[in-house]
Amino acid sequence: MSGLTASDFPAFLREAYGRSPFPWQQRLVERLLAEGRWPDVVDIPTGLGKTTMIDVAAFVAAARPDCARRRLFFVVDRRLVVDEAYEHATALAAALASPKGPVCARVADALQQAGDEGPPLQVTRMRGGVTWSWRWLERPDRYALVVGTVDQIGSRLLFRGYQVGEYLRPIDAALVGADSIVVIDEAHLAEPLIKTIRGAFAADQPRITVRPQPVVVTMSATTPAAQGQVVHGLDTDLGDEVARERLTASRRLHLLQPDVTKKTADAVMAKTLAAWATALAGDAESGRVIGVICNTVSRARAVHALVHDGDADAVLLIGRSRPIDREYLLRRWYPKMRAGRVRAAGRPLIVCATQTVEVGANIDLDHLVTESASLSALIQRLGRLNRLGKLPRADAVVVHDPSVGADDPVYGSARQATWEWLSELAPLLESAQLGQGLDVSPVALRTLLSSVDEADRQRMREPLPYMPVLFDQVLDAWVRTSPAPHPDPPVAPYLHGIDRGSADVAVVWRSGLPSGDPQAWPPAVIAVPPSTEEAIEVSLHAVRRWLAGQEAATPLADVEGTPQEDAPLPGPSKEPRQVVRYRGRDEAELVDPGDIRPGDLVVVPCQWGGCDEYGWNPSSSSPVVDVADCAYRGGRPVMRLGATLVDLARDRHPSVADALEDLIEQTRADLDDDAPPATGAYRKEIQRIVDLLPPEELEDPLPLVRNLRALTRCTATFPAGQTYVALLTVKGGAWAGDTDAWGSSVAAPGKKITLAAHQHAVADRAAQFARNLGLDPVLVASVWAAALWHDEGKRDPRFQAMLHGRPLRALRGEHGRPLIAKSGIDPADRATYRRAKLIAHYPEGMRHEALSARIARLHLTAQTHEVDPDLVVHLVAAHHGRSRPLLPPVTDPAPETIHIDDLSLSLDTSETLDWDAPRRFAALNQRYGRWGLALLETIVRLADIWCSEHEEEGQVPPS
């Protein structure tokens, strides 16, 4: 036991951040440790440290594990530019990894799992999954903090993760849907998600509980709790000096309604918002930060265009931007607007933004100009104004577009209702001079709202969408991930309601896609797999219209699941353009716009435009910067030595551009002389280039610099006929994975690991994961046995030939060669991969899991094991994400005979399909629950991945 008590929590925060808790935070810890359960609702105003819920969860997990969960998911319904929760969680993880005091050390010790030399707390920011999700959490027993949106987390929970390959979906579903706390921050549109989670787990009642079901906690200062819910809110917080300063922060509200018609609204509204922002910015040395928050991306862009050439600096913040671009943008501008900065004289800054700054952005504005919106949205926007209460006065001007009424495309009738309520409290501005204004400090606003009856409050909220009923049959369809059923029920209606817009599509821009030869695009994309770090998530409807050369039918907001008209496309102004749909390793195809589906990741040529430094811009025809070389890919970057890299470096890190160009030219010359450089030469040269960077760029590296540093451990390949001369990668790069025979059968280049050593290592690691999670002994034994036999199918001589990279006929003559599980061939070496498959004659599409499962059944029959036999066979068959409920039906054209000395028997490979698998799969879902079974699969799969990543070999054979 850790011996930690609630009285240790203030010291925990002081050691981690140098501050003490607010009263509501301390009371929450006391409540959790005393009652052993989380409240349903945390009702706290913005600006009063709601991200400390992260610290509360970590501390309680250490002090009272029975009240804890392994993973905390922090959910927002905004596309965030600044992710305060992620930054906060990262700081906590650092404080636990290197404790500065005794309480942090005790918390870290309590969270550290047996056999885990990694951090006691892992933090990740959830994005799409085709290139990284199989490693987004290394261990199922490690405590983790995960931040993401309704779509990202909700789709994963329901076994249909957007941009996640079908074979990886069970892992994501298990990690979200088992042993988790789901905290939904200011989820104004998240009622469907909340209802879906609670409905799904009310319907999932296993006979044997593997791990606890999720706990759902909503945080909202605007939505009342339902009857019977436990609420945790403010009490004595006004007695705390810092809390009182924030709760009474000066905020004066002013109302403005320009004279517009539907035809003039766009121009007049943009000009009005820009004019007020410029006026509030003051003179050229005011140093003020003015926020302009708009309801749509197009209006935010229009305002930015009007102010960015003025006497103030100006930046545009929209959520629909590439994470890599966002990191560069915020490095420049965020220090000038963040809360806690030192205010000083200098050029003012006008921040033009969308809803993306309403949640998760710890920015502190001196004055605010905003479009009218729903009550909850306005309260969030006001929360960015004088956030810490340090200014004697801060003004907010709310500008209302009267040409749009109850049919507002973003907020519906709630915008008009909120405006009418405010108009009863404050007069309209009649001149450019601000009057006294309405007091809307957090305390004053709560007082104003206390006199509003519930019916009027409801009219000022966004209308609740219609939610379909979640039947068992729908859940049963979703758990069938491989093969998925047809038709496959969509998950979007269960995340946002059926009257909401379509799910998003991730768009990636790439150079080097020849304009006259689209058929060459899929191979070019596969050669360097796309990453969601270089993608923008945009609604399916908006992407289709852009590809057809049409303007958006409705304004695009930065809120997930807003009402959106998916009307048929009008006649295109030009021929619709095909795109590459990427679905994972070696899976890329050309598709028409009408064939793009929700959750797809598509790749388009850079020369088509559609994106700028700020994000999605469908009206732009300027070429888009290709940022693939900046994608970190979970520590395995891929860098293309070519002109695109040099252009990127000149734009963002000019100090190394010339050196990179010299390296490329030297490589090209060496290849012309048939003398490709050795890997060691690249490592030395990359290190020399890194040494050219200024110290400030190395201290907290931006994406390209981060990748250069990682590539001081690079390997190199030399593709023929591409727009680059070489690929630099780190141990497999983006091609390593666990979903296919090749990517999962590699160790360090040149190192082979025997089958027995690998299976023993995976069995030991899987059993350790299971014990750390507190699983029942029978389940521990079952995952151990499944892991011990998971790769038995690699005994097939053809599979061994493929791993050795030798022709089958040559391998047959080499008796006594040990069976191997890991080849030592780098998966980034695509030419060797293709050659190995060809000469081994391993049947196309055949899965070694089928043979592994047959051999596991034989072991279970021949020996006595305290296990669940059906579970063991399923875990073996599903250890690469297939067999849910069937493996691919493949006929073996030339069956081989496999000899199993341990069992003193032989069998042939002709039986490739287990027709009992669907019955077994259905029974196991009922026995352990849908998410419980997925978690058991995940334990085996992550143990396999762990041992492959760390090149572990078993030490002691099991008895």
Please give the full DSSP string across 353-383, using - where no structure is assigned. E-GGGTSS--B-BSEEEEE---HHHHHHHHT
Could you tell me the CA-to-CA distances from 469 to 151, 498, 596, 720, 826 in Å, in that order? 19, 11, 27, 54, 48
- Cβ atoms of residues 565 and 554 within 8 Å: yes
Q: What is the pLDDT of residue 293?
A: 97
The bridge status of strand 71-76 relative to strand 180-185 is parallel
Residues of the chain with pLDDT under 50: 129-133, 566-568, 570, 572-573, 956-959
The bridge status of strand 601-605 relative to strand 611-612 is unpaired
Distance CA 882, CA 877 (A): 7
| Residues whose CB is less than 8 angstroms from the CB of residue 224 and which lie 6 or more positions away in sequence, other chains included | 454, 457
| Residues whose CB is less than 8 angstroms from the CB of residue 906 and which lie 6 or more positions away in sequence, other chains included | 897, 898, 899, 900
In sequence order, the β-bridge partners of residue 605 are 510
Q: What is the pLDDT of residue 741?
A: 53
Q: What is the pLDDT of residue 190?
A: 79
Q: What is the pLDDT of residue 361?
A: 83
883 in helix, strand or coil? Answer: coil
Q: What angle do CA 87, 249, 29 make, to 5 degrees?
A: 50
Residue entry with tokens 């019916």: 455
Q: What is the pLDDT of residue 257?
A: 96
End-to-end CA distance of the chain: 32
Residue spans of the domains in the chain: they are 6-237, 248-458, 500-598, 637-730, 735-950
Mutual angle of helices 53-63 and 84-97, in 10-degree steps: 40
Residue entry with tokens 């599980």: 821
Residue type at position 530: P
**CATH classification of 248-458, choosing from 3.30.420.40, 3.10.560.10, 3.40.50.300, 3.40.50.1000?**
3.40.50.300
Per the prediction, the chain carries an average pLDDT of 89
Distance CA 321, CA 883 (A): 37
Domain 6-237 classified CATH 3.40.50.300? yes
pTM over cut 0.95: no
Distance CA 179, CA 358 (A): 29
Residue type at position 15: E
Residue entry with tokens 């945790």: 232
DSSP per residue over 157-187, as a string? HTT--TT--TTTHHHHHHHHHSSEEEEEES-
Instruction: Output DSSP code: residue 484.
Output: P
Could you tell me the CA-to-CA distances from 660 to 109, 631, 686 in Å, in that order? 45, 18, 9
Q: What is the pLDDT of residue 84?
A: 83
Distance CA 794, CA 799 (A): 6
Distance CA 543, CA 551 (A): 10
Q: Closest Cα partner for 126 from 166, 167, 89?
A: 89
Q: What angle do CA 311, 317, 320 make, to 5 degrees?
A: 150
Question: Same topology for domains 6-237 and 248-458, yes or no?
Answer: yes
